[in-house]
Amino acid sequence: MTHSPTHPATSLGIDFGGTSVKFGVVQGHNVIDSAPAIATDDFTEPSPLIDAIVRVVEDLRQHHPGICAIGAGVPGFVNFRTGTIHNLTNVAGWTNIPLREILHLRTGLPVTVENDANCMAYAEWKEGAGRGMNHLVCITLGTGVGGGIISHGQMLRGANSVAGELGQMSIDYQGRQGAYGNLGSLEDYIGNNEIAADAREFYASKGVERSVTDCTPAALSQAANNGDEIAVEIWKNIAAKLATSVMNACWLLNPEAIIIGGGVAKAGPLLFDPLLQSLHTQLSPAFHEHLKILPAQFCNDAGIIGAAALALEESEKSHY
């Protein structure tokens, strides 16, 4: 299956979130069409949600008959080789669901299923901030913390296709207990909700009362940019926590760049400047020389673009 530069291939990206499923028709790194998102709360088990997804897919194919592959990015643990979802974060009932096989049988198209953070990493590597690089660590910072790793020009997936979960790496061996019994996981300190709760407590320690709404990452960014010194200090604390995991990843993988996306990354220099400073004080020159800390190029569409691009590449390997 080949396509000319003037007639790029068209694929469909599906981005599963904790609250909704989003769709995008993709050519290259452009989302050329979309469909209304499906709220996952409207479904209590996988089958009806899959039915709804297939209906949207078929509708988009009516408008874009050139769609030749489907990629789905999902939060949670996924066996990329089989396309089976081991669990879907924040969505009940999704345990050991062979989504690739189901969607292939229902649509007749080649399908890939991948972790959503890996999809983001793939998009940034192929078309975004990491284009042309062979060694990347990509991190998404939002309600949860996800990661994807590119090493020697390949996605690093591990023995069971679940490598790269940077959010579950420990920054404190006596720290908070994570969802899987792991202590001190990064996600339990710099997820959106954890940032807000910890920021409110930090304000209180300074004799200042703030609501949770006042302590969201967006609100903290605005406060810091408006001269709130406590908010600036909070961002330095967030950067220090993130730096611990990033430092460990650098010692282990020696990447060319760290690419950071997600809502928390919108803090920009408030997060990136102290992060880079922390890394320079905790890594030898061989590891931090030429190391780049980059914002992700793709924002909310990263998962869709990455899933669609990955599906296209896999379909050209003639798996079907």
pLDDT tens string 209-254:
999 999 999 999 999 999 999 999 999 999 999 999 999 999 999 9
pLDDT tens string 277-317:
999 999 999 999 999 999 999 988 999 999 999 999 999 88
The helix (H) or strand (E) run that includes residue 263 is none
Alpha-carbon Rg for the chain in angstroms = 20
Using an 8 Å Cβ cutoff, are 16 and 72 in contact?
yes
For residue 62, give both structure tokens.
């009516």
How many angstroms separate the Cα of 20 from the Cα of each of 41, 114, 176? 8, 17, 29
Of 194, 201, 190, 199, give the one whose Cα is nearest residue 239: 190
Of 15, 1, 47, 19, give the one whose Cα is nearest residue 119: 15
CA 316 centroid distance within chain: 24
Sign of the alpha-carbon torsion through 20, 183, 85, 146: positive
DSSP state letter for 310:
H
Beta-strand runs (E) in the chain: 10-16, 20-27, 30-39, 67-74, 78-79, 84-87, 95-97, 111-115, 136-141, 145-151, 154-155, 257-261, 292-295
DSSP state letter for 20:
E
pLDDT tens string 243-264:
999 999 999 999 999 999 999 9
How many angstroms separate the Cα of 108 from the Cα of each of 71, 111, 112, 214, 312? 13, 9, 13, 49, 14
pLDDT tens string 193-204:
999 999 999 999
Which of 10-24, 53-67, 203-217 has the weakest average pLDDT? 10-24
pLDDT tens string 167-180:
999 999 999 999 89
Distance CA 274, CA 278 (A): 6
Q: Which domains does the chain have, with CATH numbers?
A: 10-120+301-315 (3.30.420.40), 132-295 (3.30.420.40)
31-48 mean pLDDT: 92
- Tell me the average pLDDT of the chain: 93
How many angstroms separate the Cα of 179 from the Cα of each of 76, 146, 188, 226, 241? 12, 14, 9, 36, 19
Of 18, 12, 6, give the one whose Cα is nearest residue 312: 12
**Residue entry with tokens 């404190």:** 172
pLDDT tens string 99-152:
999 999 999 999 999 999 999 999 999 999 999 999 999 999 998 999 999 999
pLDDT at 100: 97
